Chain A
Amino acid sequence: MAPLIPQGFVNPDLNLFFAFVIGLGFGYVLEQAGFSSSRKLAGVFYGYDFVVLRVFFTAAITAMSGLLIFSYLGWIDDRLLYINPTYLWSAIIGGVIMGVGFILGGFCPGTSMVAAVIGKIDAMVFVAGMFIGIFIFGEFYEVFEPLYMGSYLGGIFVFDSLGMSREWFAMMLIAVALMAFVVTQYIEDQINKVSFEEKSSRPAYWTPALIIIGLGVLMIMLPSQPRSNWNETSAQKLLTNVVNGNQLVDADEVAYSLVNGKDRPLRLVDVRSPEEFAQFSLPGAVNIPIGQILENQSEAILSDKTNKVVLYSNATTLSSEAWLVATRAGIEDLYVLDGGLNGFIQTVFLEKPADPAHNMNLAYQNRFREKARQYFLSGQSAASPKTLSVPVIQTVGEKPKAKGGC
């Protein structure tokens, strides 16, 4: 139920419920379009009724345009879309089997369900046959396995193989679909010997055709910004934050987090190189070298909503640059350790304790810093940061076995 689930409008546990509702709608649509009639379905092979092909193409270009447009709008995250991997020979042979079954039986799996539900006996027999076939495949899987898993080409795209961009391929497919509509209509008329009067009383489909072509053209014309550009923070906002120093946290706050880990743990991120990180790092810090700060894994760590994320480096320069790039990309609530490690050591260890004569806060600060010093020197601070939650990235696993289908 993207986009509603990523944006938080819909509870992901309702997935199955929505699947059920969508299934209801789908069955209804198929039935009212007449797809429970095997004669209508088989017409695509004999040429007298191409409705199946037209429905297929319409669905394809609608879904394709929808995905492209929604991904531009940022309503879906196209990194989460699962692409069925291509197993070449099993796809070809499976297609042949399905085609033969389609002509023989007059149904494909989805429509056979529709017809069986309304009581057609031949559809029920077809469904039974389907289950028997599935059972045989499961029982004798070892025999079929080499074919099933062979010739794996990965999740390849047609437009990649052809060397064109996604949008141009979409436009091409729209053009092909529209041509197919015209051609199949012509063939139908020839085979059914449709009279001229009937033909001219048909409504013209110019408007929908122009609409879909227009959307395709719009897709091509829009500058190909990846979706993430619309989430970027504006330059002025970045500048204001830097000028006001809103993103800085001071050494005392970090020291406090290291000393009293459970209370307000900070997620410390070291943006220096791995060598410098290996030489020394603050206890519990994670290393994200600045060159990798825009990667997906880094984004998972930086978008940690439960803890405050503080970037640090030796001074403030590198961490500020890292902060700028990450905040521009849309990550919020990032902070920078003011003064960096140099400043940290300076403040906590080397600064002369201020004269607390008139200021209780200064007295507290002195006492805290002394405690922090002892803590760090004795190595106790290493114990605390285990309380931080581990960030979780959801990736889409490849599970090629579950190919259900029509």
Chain B
Amino acid sequence: MKNQEVILLNTAGVLFAIFVAAILLFQWAIAPAYKENNAAVLETIAGHNHYIQPWQLEELIKTNQINSHLIVDLRSNEEFNRGSLPGAVNIPLNNLLDQKSLKMIRKASGDVLLISGDESHSAVASALLKSKGFTNSKVSATDYNYIRQNVLDHFQPASAFSVAEKAWFDYPRFFRNTGSAEEQRPSVKPKIIQTEIVKTKGGC
């Protein structure tokens, strides 16, 4: 190969390599900055272990251990000012991922107890915090009003267990299903098409 050809080829090769490397690094840089991968977060959620029940809260308050944990109230400012748990910090859900809030959460020793007007908000907040690498968050299994009434004001042992995700009604009473359950639900199993890839190895 003549020298000029070689130089041309080499320059082209180098440019191509730089191009590829640039794309790779760019992709790596713009990937959302999660510390914990999705599967790990899902494992925590599916373990159902990250809830803190009202009776556990009550116990913490009674034994004065509540102060070693950080109570985060996710409701809005106005609601927080109207009344909250003693020692709670207000981080409206909107600002959960701000630098200030994350710094506060990072500095917390012990667990971070998330309380909100809606349990699903605390659940989502905990999952997001876990994705960001904060493994110490616990979700209050009941919303704030419930806690206010049943834990702080007067503790009722009967209602001390989680109401989150409990079936309040006997559903079949409202939906009469004629026939067997199998008949009712058309099985929506995904239809799996076997694409037969006939691989021919061409070449020398």
Q: Taking beta carbons and an 8 Å cutoff, which residues of A are in contact with B? A: 23, 26, 30, 35, 41, 52, 55-56, 59, 69, 72-74, 82, 84, 108, 110-111, 203, 207-208, 211, 214-215, 218, 222-223, 225, 229-230, 232-236, 238-240, 242-243, 267, 272, 276, 278-286, 289-291, 293-294, 297, 300-301, 313-322, 324-325, 328-329, 336, 340-342, 345-346, 349, 373, 376-379, 381-382, 385-386, 388, 390-397, 399, 402-406
Contact = CB atoms under 8 A, between A and B. Distances in A.
A72 to B, nearest CB: 6
A397 B119 contact: no
A382 B204 contact: no
Contact of B123 (A207, A320, A385): A320
A313 B39 CA distance: 20
Interface stretch (B55-63, B126-134, B144-152, B153-161): B126-134
Nearest to B167: A314
Contact of B128 (A56, A59, A203, A239): A239
B188 A390 contact: yes
A391 B188 contact: yes
Contact of A403 (B118, B120, B199): B199
Interface in B166-183: 166-169, 171-172, 174-178, 181, 183
19 contacts: A59-B203, A82-B199, A203-B1, A223-B28, A230-B31, A239-B124, A285-B185, A315-B120, A315-B164, A316-B118, A320-B123, A321-B120, A340-B165, A342-B167, A377-B175, A382-B178, A390-B191, A399-B198, A404-B199
Contact of A342 (B24, B33, B41, B168): B168
Interface stretch (B64-72, B93-101, B103-111): B93-101
Given A317-B165, A393-B190, 19 more contacts: A215-B21, A229-B34, A232-B31, A235-B33, A235-B131, A239-B94, A276-B167, A284-B188, A313-B165, A322-B45, A328-B34, A345-B171, A379-B175, A390-B191, A395-B193, A396-B194, A404-B202, A406-B202, A406-B204
Interface of B: 1, 3, 6, 9-10, 13-14, 16-17, 20-21, 23-24, 27-28, 30-34, 37-39, 41-42, 45-46, 93-94, 96-97, 118-121, 123-124, 127-128, 131-132, 139, 164-169, 171-172, 174-178, 181, 183-186, 188-204
Given A239-B94, A242-B121, A388 B188 contact: yes
Contact of B14 (A207, A223, A233): A207
B197 A396 contact: yes
Contact of A235 (B34, B193, B204): B34
B178 to A, nearest CB: 4
Contacts, number: 250
A293 B181 CA distance: 23
Interface centre among B6, B30, B132, B171 (most CB of A within 10 A): B171
B131 to A, nearest CB: 6
A297 B192 CA distance: 9
Interface centre among B20, B28, B94, B204 (most CB of A within 10 A): B204
Nearest to B181: A278
A399 B197 contact: yes
Interface centre among A214, A235, A388 (most CB of B within 10 A): A235
Contact of A26 (B34, B166, B188, B202): B202
A318 B42 CA distance: 11
A316 to B, nearest CB: 4
Given A285-B185, A382-B184, A405-B202, A234 B32 contact: yes
Contact of A321 (B9, B123, B175): B123
Contacts of B204: 30, 35, 41, 52, 55-56, 108, 110-111, 406
Nearest to A378: B176
A329 B40 CA distance: 12
Contacts of A82: 197, 199
